[in-house]
Chains A and B, each alone.
Chain A
Amino acid sequence: MDQTDHQSDDLTTRPFFGPKGSGGPGDKGLGPASWLFSTDHKRIGLLYLGLIGLMFIAALALGLILRLKLMTPGSTLLSPQEYNAMFTLHGVIMVFLVVIPSIPASFGNIFLPLHIGANDVSFPRLNNFSWWLYVTGMVLAITSIFTGSGAPDTGWTFYVPFSERTTTNVSLAVIAVFILGFSSILTGLNFITTVHRLRAPGMTWKKLPLFVWSLYATGWIQVLATPILGITALLIFAERVLHLGLFDAARGGDPLLYQHLFWIYSHPAVYIMILPAMGVISEIIPVFARKPIFGYNMIAFSSLAIAFAGSLVWAHHMFTSGMSDTAVLIFSFLTFVVAIPSAIKVFNWLSTLYQGSISLDPPLLYALGFIFMFSIGGLTGLVLGSAGTDIHVHDTYFVVAHFHYVIFGGTGLGMFAAMHFWFPKVFGRMYDHGRAAWAFWLVILGMNVLYFPMFIMGLQGMPRRYYDYLPQYGPMQMVSTWGSWLLAVGLGLMFWNLYRGSRYGPAATKNPWGGATLEWTLPTPLPHEAFEGDPSAPEPYDFKGVNPDG
Chain B
Amino acid sequence: MTDKHEAQHEPLSYRFLALVWAGLMALTALTLGAAKVDLGFLNVVAALGIASAKASLVIFFFMHLKYENRLIKGMVLTAFVILAIAIALTFVDVGYRY
Residues of A within 8 A of B72 (CB): none
Q: Closest CB-CB distance, A351 to chain B, in whole Å?
A: 33
CB-CB < 8 A to B90: which residues of A? 260, 264
Residue of B nearest to A322 (CB): B97
Could you tell me if B96 and A311 are in contact, using CB atoms closer than 8 angstroms?
A: no
B82→A224 contact, CB < 8 A: yes
Give the residue name and chain of the B residue nearest to A334 (CB): B89
- Given that A224-B79, A224-B82, A311-B82 are contacting pairs, would A330 and B97 also be in contact in the complex, using a CB cutoff of 8 Å? no
Q: Are B95 and A264 in contact (CB under 8 A)?
A: no
A311 CB to closest chain B CB (Å) equals 7
Q: Let me know if B82 and A323 touch, CB within 8 A.
A: no
Bound-state Cα–Cα, A322 to B97, Å:
8
Task: Mark A residues whose CB is within 8 Å of B.
Answer: 224, 228, 254, 256, 260, 264, 311-312, 315, 318, 322-327, 330-331
B79→A327 contact, CB < 8 A = no
Q: A324 to B89, Cβ gap below 8 A?
A: no
Which of these, B79, B94, B96, contacts A325 with CB under 8 Å? B96
Using A224-B79, A224-B82 as known contacts, say yes or no to A315 and B89 having CB atoms under 8 A apart.
yes
Query: Please, could you name 30 A-B residue pairs with CB atoms under 8 Å apart, sorted by A?
Result: A224-B79, A224-B82, A254-B94, A256-B93, A260-B90, A260-B93, A264-B86, A311-B86, A312-B85, A312-B89, A315-B89, A315-B93, A318-B93, A322-B97, A323-B93, A323-B97, A324-B92, A324-B93, A324-B94, A324-B96, A324-B97, A325-B96, A326-B92, A326-B93, A326-B96, A327-B89, A327-B92, A327-B93, A330-B89, A331-B89
- Which residues of B45-98 are within 8 A (CB) of A? 79, 82, 85-86, 89-90, 92-98
CA A181 to CA B57, docked complex, whole Å = 27
A206 to B53, CA, bound (A): 41
Task: For the complex, give the distance between the alpha carbons of A492 and B95 in Å.
Answer: 52
Q: How far is the CA of A256 from the CA of B96 in the complex (A)?
A: 14
Task: Report chain A residues within 8 Å CB of B86.
Answer: 228, 264, 311
Taking the closest CB of chain A, its distance from the CB of B3, in whole angstroms, is: 17
Chain B residues whose C-beta falls within 8 Å of the C-beta of A224 in the assembled complex: 79, 82
Q: Are B79 and A324 in contact (CB under 8 A)?
A: no
Cβ–Cβ < 8 Å partners of B79 in chain A: 224
Docked CA distance A312–B89 (Å): 8
With both beta carbons as reference points, the residue of chain A lying nearest to B90 in the complex is identified as A260
A548 to B24, CA, bound (A): 65
Chain B at the A interface: SS class: helix
- Taking the closest CB of chain B, its distance from the CB of A249, in whole angstroms, is 12
Task: Establish whether residues B96 and A327, one from each chain, have CB atoms under 8 Å apart when the complex forms.
Answer: yes
Task: Tell me the smallest distance from the CB of A525 to a CB of chain B, in Å.
Answer: 35
Task: Taking A315-B93, A324-B93, A324-B94 as given, write out 19 further A-B residue pairs in contact, using a Cβ cutoff of 8 Å, ordered by the A residue number.
Answer: A224-B79, A224-B82, A228-B86, A256-B93, A264-B86, A311-B86, A312-B85, A312-B89, A315-B89, A318-B93, A322-B97, A324-B98, A326-B92, A326-B96, A327-B92, A327-B93, A327-B96, A330-B92, A331-B89
In whole angstroms, what is the CA distance A508 to B85 when docked?
50
Interfacial chain A residues near B82, Cβ < 8 Å: 224, 311
For A311, what are the chain B residues with a Cβ–Cβ distance below 8 Å? 82, 86
For residue A256, which residues in chain B have a CB less than 8 angstroms away from its CB?
A: 93
Minimum CB–CB distance for A223 against chain B, Å: 9
Taken together as a complex, chains A and B put the C-alpha atoms of A254 and B82 apart, in Å, by: 23
Q: Which residues of A contact B96 (CB under 8 A)?
A: 324-327
- B81 to chain A minimum Cβ distance, whole angstroms, is 11
Shortest B83–chain A CB gap in Å is 9
Distance (whole angstroms) from the CB of B79 to the closest CB of chain A: 6
> B54: shortest Cβ distance to chain A, in Å?
17
Most buried by A among B79, B85, B89: B89
Which residues on the A side are within 8 Å of B95 (C-beta)? 324
B92 to chain A: which residues have CB within 8 Å? Answer: 324, 326-327, 330
A323 to B95, CA, bound (A): 10
Complex CA–CA separation, A514 to B96 (angstroms): 57
Question: What's the Cα separation between A254 and B86 when bound, in Å?
Answer: 17
Of all chain A residues, the one with the shortest Cβ separation from B95 is: A324
Tell me how far the C-beta of B33 lies from the nearest C-beta in chain A, rounded to whole angstroms. 19
Cα separation A331 to B85 with both chains bound (whole Å):
13
CB A220 to nearest CB in B, in angstroms, measures 9
Distance of A315 Cα from B93 Cα, bound (Å): 9
Q: Which residue of A lies closest to B82 (CB)?
A: A224
Interface hub of A322, A324, A325 (most chain B Cβ within 10 A): A324
Across the interface, name the chain B residue whose C-beta is closest to A323. Answer: B93
In the bound complex, how far is the Cα of B76 from the Cα of A224, in angstroms? 11
| Closest partner residue, chain B, to A315 (CB atom) | B93
Q: What's the minimum C-beta distance from A304 to chain B, rounded to whole angstroms?
A: 13
The residue in chain B whose Cβ has the minimal distance to the Cβ of A228 is B86
Q: How far is the CB of B41 from chain A (nearest CB, A)?
A: 14
> When chains A and B are docked, how far (Å) is the Cα of A322 from the Cα of B86?
19
Q: Whole-angstrom distance from the CB of B63 to the nearest CB of chain A?
A: 16
Residues of the B chain whose Cβ atoms lie less than 8 Å from the Cβ of A323: 93, 97
Q: Chain B residues with Cβ under 8 A from A228's Cβ? A: 86
How far does the Cβ of A38 sit from chain B's closest Cβ, in whole Å? 27
- Cβ of A254: which chain B residues have Cβ within 8 Å of it? 94
Q: Specify which chain B residues have a CB less than 8 angstroms from the CB of A327 in the assembled complex.
A: 89, 92-93, 96
Q: Distance (Å) between the CB of A17 and the closest chain B CB?
A: 34
Whole-angstrom distance from the CB of B43 to the nearest CB of chain A? Answer: 11
Chain B residues lying within 8 Å of A312, measured Cβ to Cβ, are: 85, 89
A245 to B31 CA separation, bound complex (whole angstroms):
20
Closest partner residue, chain A, to B85 (CB atom): A312
Residues of B within 8 A of A264 (CB): 86, 90
